[in-house]
Amino acid sequence: MTGSRPLAVVLINEAGYTAGAAVAGRLSATLYLPAPISGRELPPDGGQNVGYTEPPGELVTRLFRAGQGLVLVMAVGIAVRLLSGLPVDKRVDPPVVVLDTAARYAVSLLAGHEGGANALAYRVAAVVGAEPVVTTGSEGRRTLAVGLGCRRGVEAPRIMEAVERGLAAVGRGKESIRVAATADFKAHEPGLHQVCTELGIGLRVFNREAIRSVDGLFGESRCARKYFDVGGVAEPCAFLAVHNGRIILPRLVADEVTVALAEDRLWSPGSGRVPRST
């Protein structure tokens, strides 16, 4: 489900099966795939498998007009052609996210802010470790990523209090936050998801390998190293979630929550923004 809408994951061939099945299973969605490959089973955590025989364009039209949220596992160009003529108004269109078959990018394609595609893109990306791609104008005005770490079971009000303390320390407001970020071993904390919902932002999730690639840039947390074999959570994750940005609030410990803030460096002539080396 996405909001109150049912969610459909649509494949047009077997190439996207692994990624599509993972997303459908994790997000309790219906996986639509061509009938010849529909006998394959989904992961055990949810969702259902439906084979279809009509042309993909007819299927997408039917699901779109029924108001279902869509995750289209295919190239963006194919998705655009399948959706041609269907969008009516961003306030009523269902959210559409495109996930490439290699699970590299989850693109918020249609009904981004109003319809929930931006949030859906982050959810899809978190399942398969993809890069969420969000291009709506409202996102451009939000430049902060908040990195979050917490003890198991910490409730949302305490996490929100830590976020507010961090923002106050740099003189910024909640409306400046574009995204939250955490480690994969913290991604299922209900409190984190509730805070993201209250702030109206997505949650980016990074694995240990990604965190280790940058954690040497920051002070080390002994607890994070001891229990998770990474140098930290809040600072590395905040840094990884911004675009050619910088940390503006180093790791702040607020009881059982750690918070850090990083800011995007938006491009402009003479901004000095250059691609991050990989």
Nearest Cα neighbor of 181 from 115, 98, 262, 117 is 262
Q: Are residues 116 and 79 in the same domain?
A: yes
Structural domain containing residue 232? 142-263
Determine, yes or no, domain membership for 103.
yes
Does 18 share its domain with 93? Answer: yes
% of the chain with per-residue pLDDT over 70: 91
pLDDT at position 4 over 90: no
**Average of per-residue pLDDT across 79-92:** 93
pLDDT over 60 (residue 276): no
Same domain as 128, residue 60: yes
Q: Report the pLDDT value the prediction gives residue 111, as an integer from 0 to 100.
A: 84
Out of 89, 119, 138, pick the residue that ends a domain.
138
What percent of the chain is predicted at pLDDT more than 90? 72
131 and 169 belong to one structural domain: no
| Whole-number pLDDT of residue 278 | 46
On the question of pLDDT at 154 being above 70, the answer is yes
pLDDT beyond 70 at 238: yes
SS (H, E, C) the chain: CECCECEEEEECCHHHHHHHHHHHHHCCCEEEEEHHHCCCCCCCCCCEEEEECCCHHHHHHHHHHCCCEEEEECCHHHHHHHHCCCCCCCCCCCCEEEECCCCCEEEEEECCCCCCHHHHHHHHHHHHCCEEECCCHHHHCCCEEEEEEECCCCCHHHHHHHHHHHHHHHCCCHHHEEEEEEEHHHCCCHHHHHHHHHHCCEEEEECHHHHHCCHHHCCCCHHHHHHHCCCCCHHHHHHHCCCCCEEEEEEEEECCEEEEEEECCCCCCCCCCCCCCC
Domain co-membership, 114 together with 73: yes
Same domain, yes or no: 178 and 202: yes
Do both 161 and 108 map to the same domain? no
Predicted confidence at residue 5, as pLDDT, reads: 81
- Please give the average per-residue pLDDT across 176-184, as a whole number: 95
Domain containing 30 — which CATH number? 3.40.50.11220
Q: Please indicate whether residue 269 or residue 105 has the higher confidence score (pLDDT).
A: 105
Q: What is the C-alpha separation between 52 and 49, in angstroms, rounded?
A: 10
Across the range 59-86, mean pLDDT stands at 96
Query: Does residue 278 lie in a domain region?
Result: no
Q: What is the mean pLDDT of residues 180-199?
A: 94
Domain boundary residue, one of 83, 117, 138:
138
The 10s digit of each residue's pLDDT in 6-24 is 999 999 999 999 999 999 9
Average pLDDT over residues 163-190: 95
Whether 1 is in a domain gets the answer no
Strands 30-34 and 7-11: what pairing? parallel
Q: Exposed, middle or buried, 148 (CB in 10 Å: 0-12/13-18/19+)?
A: buried
Query: Do 75 and 99 have their domain in common?
Result: yes
pLDDT at 161: 97
The count of structural domains within the chain is 2
Residue 234 has pLDDT above 80, yes or no: yes
State the pLDDT confidence band at 46, using cuts at 50, 70 and 90. Answer: low
What is the pLDDT at residue 273? 59
Contact assessment for residue 157 and residue 255, using Cβ atoms and an 8 Å cutoff: no
State residue 20's pLDDT score: 94
Mean pLDDT for the stretch of residues 89-118: 91
Flag whether pLDDT at 213 surpasses 50: yes
* 168 within domain boundaries: yes
Query: pTM of the predicted model, to two decimals?
Result: 0.80
Q: What confidence score (pLDDT) does residue 30 get?
A: 94
Q: What is the mean pLDDT of residues 177-194?
A: 94
Instruction: Give the model's pLDDT for residue 37.
Output: 77
Quote the pLDDT of residue 271.
Answer: 61
Question: Strands 30-34 and 48-52: what pairing?
Answer: parallel
What's the rounded Cα separation, in Å, for the pair 55 and 247? 49
Round the average pLDDT of the chain to a whole number and report it. Answer: 90
Poorest-confidence range of 29-33, 241-245, 256-260, 272-276?
Answer: 272-276
